[in-house]
């Protein structure tokens, strides 16, 4: 059932499933793969948000809610039935909670982990047997530079991305003997709904003493998003990660991710953290 690029063998285009495909990086990835002749299952919670996907050759739109195990099973099964297998799966669905942790209730925490961690795990678990039987395939987890480094007000979001990084690094060992590659794409600042519709902002109580801190840090973070790379830049890296023949695990992309990830490796922790504090003008 090997169809080529997904497993790093041959020259034919492959078969892919992309989650969170209605906007941003997911949408750009579907377009990039389709332009290369791939057959792509563009999955999303609300298929009515598919836009012009119906005009793209080889693209089918499927409903997939990563928080619903039945929805995951149904969408993956339909993609396999349609394409005859899957050479690549891109776990892109996710969103960001930001704000002061003190103000976050259990419902917020559960929802953030349910989508960003458990949802990704459900899709990954569902496709492993398919790729194992094929003896080839690539699973791309769209993580974040926030899975390697941290910034103020994103503590819970960072917790999910650090979980994805650890889960995926460990899982890569057990998948490699079965011919399955696992990749972590780690975007930096990207002009997507991460800073808009997909953002969930938690406001602290007025008397908690966070107002000036939150205003300052939000301004710095949002300005980075407005100046970020287009989602197409990340999509190009996702395609490269899928087609790469090596055993490389991580692919930082879009400033400042490559630089900051490199600095975190070489600088003493105290020096690196002081750089972040200076960037956000944190004293005390």
Q: Residue 199 phi/psi, 5° resolution? A: -90, 135
What is the mean predicted confidence (pLDDT) over 26-49?
Answer: 97
Give 123-170 pLDDT, tens digit per residue: 999 999 999 999 999 999 999 999 999 999 999 999 999 999 999 999
- In angstroms, rounded to a whole number, what is the distance separating the alpha carbons of residues 10 and 256? 34
CATH class, 5-279 region = alpha beta
Give 241-258 pLDDT, tens digit per residue: 999 999 999 999 999 999
* Residue 6: predicted pLDDT: 42
* Residue 4: predicted pLDDT: 41
Give 169-216 pLDDT, tens digit per residue: 999 999 999 999 999 999 999 998 776 666 799 999 889 999 999 999
Q: Show the tokens assigned to 256.
A: 């400042």
| pTM exceeding 0.85 | yes
Q: What are the distances in angstroms from CA 234 to CA 2, 30, 110, 177, 251?
A: 26, 12, 28, 28, 10
* Residue 11: predicted pLDDT: 40
- In angstroms, rounded to a whole number, what is the distance separating the alpha carbons of residues 138 and 51? 27
Helix or strand run (H / E) with residue 242: helix 231-243
Report, as residue numbers or ranges, the catalytic residues: 143, 157, 161
Is pLDDT above 60 for 75?
A: yes
pLDDT grade for 227, boundaries at 50, 70 and 90: confident
């Amino acid at each position: 059932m090997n169809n080529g690029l997904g497993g790093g063998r041959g020259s034919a285009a492959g078969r892919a499933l992309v989650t969170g495909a209605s906007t941003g990086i997911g949408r750009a990835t579907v377009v990039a793969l389709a332009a290369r002749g791939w057959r792509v299952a563009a999955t999303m919670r609300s298929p009515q948000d598919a836009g012009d996907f119906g005009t793209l050759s080889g693209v089918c739109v499927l409903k997939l809610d990563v928080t619903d195990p039945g929805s995951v099973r149904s969408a993956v099964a339909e993609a396999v039935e349609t394409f005859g297998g899957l050479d690549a799966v891109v776990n892109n669905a996710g969103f960001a909670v930001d704000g002061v942790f003190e103000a976050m209730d259990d419902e917020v925490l559960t929802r953030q982990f349910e989508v960003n961690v458990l949802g990704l795990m459900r899709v990954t678990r569902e496709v492993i047997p398919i790729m194992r039987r094929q003896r080839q395939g690539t699973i791309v987890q769209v993580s974040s530079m926030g899975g390697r480094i941290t910034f103020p007000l994103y503590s819970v979001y960072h917790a999910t991305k650090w979980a994805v990084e650890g889960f995926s690094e460990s899982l890569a060992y057990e998948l490699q003997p079965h011919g399955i590659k696992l990749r972590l794409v780690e975007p930096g600042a990207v002009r997507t709904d991460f800073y808009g519709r997909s953002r969930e902002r938690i406001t602290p109580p007025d008397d908690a003493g966070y107002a000036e801190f939150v205003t300052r840090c939000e301004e710095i973070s949002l300005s980075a998003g407005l100046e970020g790379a287009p989602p197409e830049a990340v999509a190009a890296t996702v395609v490269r990660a899928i087609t790469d023949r090596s055993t490389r695990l991580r692919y930082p992309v879009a400033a400042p991710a490559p630089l900051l990830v490199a600095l975190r490796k070489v600088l003493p922790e105290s020096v690196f953290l002081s750089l972040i504090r200076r960037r956000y003008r944190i004293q005390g």
